[in-house]
Amino acid sequence: MILKIILFVFSTGALTVIFVLTQQKTGLSFEKISLPQLAPAIAVLVLFLIYKDLPARINLCFEKVILTKSLIAFILPMLLFAISFFIEKQLNLNVKITENLTNLLSLMITGMLIGALGEEIGWRSFLQPIFEKKNSVLVASIFVGIIWGLWHIGHYKNGFLFMTGFLLFTISASIIIAGLLRRTEYNLIISAIFHFSINFGFLVFFHNSLTDNKFMLINGLVWLIPAIGIVIITGKDLIKI
């Protein structure tokens, strides 16, 4: 298990660097897709070529419970971002609703959807179930959240406090997604919609303040509250191995 995780993380990191450099040098951008977001999915494909017993769950099953959870997966991140936005407005931080949003969305919505799928095939369809082989859902979610957060190497330049808040956010989001994915066989529709909503929410509320330390710390704390709530509500479901 450990070797598979190491290979996945290494492959994802290497592919991310290659895609970042490629996109910077060529300006390649089909439907505003961020090529690095495809790295986790391609890393899973690489591991499939090496191993035949991967616990990856590319589950696209769609039924009533999936529809309900998918709606929650879209609404919840937007609600949490709205709460963060309100709090930060009260603290007089430099946050504002993004201008020209209609034009931005028409350019970026397809890219955000494809990017969300590319990441979630790696994070929740592969990494989460492989960590759950020998860990509880909660511990697995924390590990995935840390790796997911550290993968965003472009944020390192914003400093330690920013990354602390960002990791708090990714760990909390990872726990929330895991809660939604319980008894759905790691449904990719749910996790991809949740991830899309995160990207959409950042674009709507914080497009002009994504490098602010205070913003990210407050946002991380806001997301931590429902993450703790999910752990309490689900009881032993997330902590049993």
Cα 165 versus chain centre, distance:
15
Q: Is residue 17 part of a domain?
A: no
* Residues 19-49: tens digit of each pLDDT: 988 888 876 665 577 889 999 999 999 998 8
Give the number of domains in the chain: 1
Q: Answer yes or no: is 48 within a domain.
A: no
Give residue 111's pLDDT band: very low, low, confident or very high (50, 70, 90).
Answer: confident
Q: Does residue 69 sit in helix, strand or coil?
A: helix
Residue 1 lies in a domain: no
Q: Flag whether 91 is in a domain.
A: yes
Q: CA end-to-end span of the chain, whole Å?
A: 16
Judge whether 222 and 83 are in contact, CB under 8 Å: yes
- Quote the CA–CA distance of 13 and 81 in Å, as a whole number: 28
In a domain, 84, yes or no: yes
Length of the chain as a residue count: 241
* Contact (Cβ atoms closer than 8 angstroms) between residue 38 and residue 118: yes
SS3 per residue for 160-227: HHHHHHHHHHHHHHHHHHHHHHCCCCCEHHHHHHHHHHHHHHHHHHHCCCCCCHHHHHHHHHHHHHHH
Alpha-helical (H) ranges within 28-63 are 39-50
Residue range(s) defining the domain that contains residue 161: 57-237
DSSP state of 60: -
CA 105/CA 132 separation, integer angstroms: 36
Q: Is residue 7 in some structural domain? A: no
Residues 6+ apart with CB under 8 A from 106: none
Query: pLDDT (tens digit, 9 = 90+) per residue, 47-99?
Result: 988 887 776 668 888 888 899 999 999 999 999 999 999 998 888 887 787 77
Please name every residue paired with 187 in a beta bridge, in sequence order, or none if there are none. 59
Could you tell me if residue 9 is inside a domain? no
- Is residue 32, in this structure, part of any structural domain at all? no
Residue 132's Cβ-side half-sphere holds a number of Cα atoms within 13 Å equal to 24
Q: How far apart are CA 136 and CA 133, in angstroms?
A: 8
* Chain segment 133-191, per-residue pLDDT in tens: 889 999 999 999 999 999 999 899 999 999 999 999 999 999 999 999 998 999 999 99
d(CA 123, CA 142): 12
